[in-house]
Amino acid sequence: MNTFTSIRKFLTEEDGITALEYGILAAIVAGIIVVTVGPQLSTFFTTLFTYITTKTGI
């Protein structure tokens, strides 16, 4: 395969673009989940650590 054919194939191939799009979509979804659930998780862990600290006397 000559160089020009390889370059043309690289430029027209869309597999990498699809993977990049899925990566961006996953990052957006993860961000939305963190923003939505973050405060509840913070409250949960604060309550849990307070309970453990109280029961163990640490």
How do residues 2-49 score in pLDDT, each as one tens digit?
Answer: 888 887 877 777 666 677 888 899 999 999 998 999 889 889 999 999
Residues found in the chain: 58
Q: Is the pLDDT of residue 55 over 70?
A: yes
pTM over 0.75: no
Beta strands in 1-58 (DSSP E): none
Phi, psi dihedral angles at 14 (to 5 degrees): -110, 0
Phi, psi dihedral angles at 2 (to 5 degrees): -85, 170
Place of tokens 């430029």: 11
